[in-house]
C-alpha cells in the first residue's frame, strides 16, 4: 500500500449523522489525496515483492548448474571417445560451455528479478490508482451525505415555520378578539358621535325660535311720559 490512509478500509458507523459522515469522508479523502501529491509507487512495492524470489532464483541457478555439469560430463565423454580428452580442443570446448552456462544463469536470474520488480511496480501503481479513485468516490459520498443532511434541515426549517405561522395566526386572532373587547366602549362612543354628528341638520329643522326685544331710549321715555 502506498499511503497510510486507505479509503477502502474506512467504514462509517451505521448510525452516524450525515454531517459527521460527510466530515469523516471528506477528511479521509483529503488525507489520501494529500498523500498522493508526494507518494510514489515505490512506497508500496515492498508489499508485492515475492518473499520466495531469492529461493526461486537460487533454484533456477542450481538447475542451470546441474545442466552445466551434465553438459561438461557429456563433453568429457565425447572427448574421451574422440581421444581428445585433456587436449587443447577439449579445453576450449569446456571453456566455451562454461561461459554459456554462466551467461544462462545470469540471464535467468536477471529475468526473474525483473519480472518480480515489474509485477510489484504494477501492483503498487494499481493500488495507488485504486486508492485515489476510492478517495474521490468517498469525497463524492461525503458530499452526498452532506446534501442529504442539508435538505432535511431545510425541510425542518420550512415545515417548522409553517407550524409557527399557524400558532402566530391563532395568537393574532386572540389578540384581535381582546382588542375588540377592550375597544368596545370606544367603538360605542364612536357610534354615538356619528349619530350626534348627523343630527344637527335635522335638529335644525325642528329647532324652535325665541324672539327677544331690547327696549331703546325712546321706549323708556314713553314709559316715563305716560306715568
Partner 1 sequence: MSGGSKSTQKNLPKFYEQDLQQGMDFAQDVAAVGYTPYYGPDVAAFSPMQNASFDSTNMMAGAFNMPTADPANYMPEPTTFANGIQGYSSAPLYGEAVDALAANRPGQKNYIDSFFVDPVTGAPGANQPSAQPVQYEMTAKRGK
Report if residue 98 touches partner 1, rule: CB under 8 A. no
- Residue 24 or 123 having the CB closest to partner 1: 24
| Position among 77, 82, 106, 174 found at the interface with partner 1 (CB under 8 A) | 174
- Asked if 62 and 109 count as a contact pair (C-beta separation under 8 A), the reply is no
With CB under 8 A as the contact rule, which of the stretches 33-41, 92-100, 129-137, 187-195 interacts with partner 1? 187-195
Question: What separation in angstroms does the CA of 96 have from each of 83, 89, 209?
Answer: 19, 11, 163
Report if residue 92 touches partner 1, rule: CB under 8 A. no
Angle between helices 88-182 and 53-81 (to 10 degrees): 160
Q: Which three cell numbers stand for residue 5?
A: 490512509
Report if residue 13 touches partner 1, rule: CB under 8 A. no
**Total residues at the site for partner 1 (CB under 8 A)?**
54
- Asked if 64 and 106 count as a contact pair (C-beta separation under 8 A), the reply is no
| Position among 81, 212, 224, 225 found at the interface with partner 1 (CB under 8 A) | 212
CA dist., res. 167 & res. 157, Å (int): 15
List, in sequence order, every beta strand (DSSP E) within 96-169.
Answer: none
Q: Give residues in contact with partner 1 (CB under 8 A).
A: 17, 19-20, 22-23, 146, 149-150, 152-154, 156-157, 159-161, 163-165, 167-168, 170-171, 174-175, 178-179, 182, 185-186, 188-189, 192-193, 195-196, 199-200, 203-204, 206-219
Amino acid at each position: 500500500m502506498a499511503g497510510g490512509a486507505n479509503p477502502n478500509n474506512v467504514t462509517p458507523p451505521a448510525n452516524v449523522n450525515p454531517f459527521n459522515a460527510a466530515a469523516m469522508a471528506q477528511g479521509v479523502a483529503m488525507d489520501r489525496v494529500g498523500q498522493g501529491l508526494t507518494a510514489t509507487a515505490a512506497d508500496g512495492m515492498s508489499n508485492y515483492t515475492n518473499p520466495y524470489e531469492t529461493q526461486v532464483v537460487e533454484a533456477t541457478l542450481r538447475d542451470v548448474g546441474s545442466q552445466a555439469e551434465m553438459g561438461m560430463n557429456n563433453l568429457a565423454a565425447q572427448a574421451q571417445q574422440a581421444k581428445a580428452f585433456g587436449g587443447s580442443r577439449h579445453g576450449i570446448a569446456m571453456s566455451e560451455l562454461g561461459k554459456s552456462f554462466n551467461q544462462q544463469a545470469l540471464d535467468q536470474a536477471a529475468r526473474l528479478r525483473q519480472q518480480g520488480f515489474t509485477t510489484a511496480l504494477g501492483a503498487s501503481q494499481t493500488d495507488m490508482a485504486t486508492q485515489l479513485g476510492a478517495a474521490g468516490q468517498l469525497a463524492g459520498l461525503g458530499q452526498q451525505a452532506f446534501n442529504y443532511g442539508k435538505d432535511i434541515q431545510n425541510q425542518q426549517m420550512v415545515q417548522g415555520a409553517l407550524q409557527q405561522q399557524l400558532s402566530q395566526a391563532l395568537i393574532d386572532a386572540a389578540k384581535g378578539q381582546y382588542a375588540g373587547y377592550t375597544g368596545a366602549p370606544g367603538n360605542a362612543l364612536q357610534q354615538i358621535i356619528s349619530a350626534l354628528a348627523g343630527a344637527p341638520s335635522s335638529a335644525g329643522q325642528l329647532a324652535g325660535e325665541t324672539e327677544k326685544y331690547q327696549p331703546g331710549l325712546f321706549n323708556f321715555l314713553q314709559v316715563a311720559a305716560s306715568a
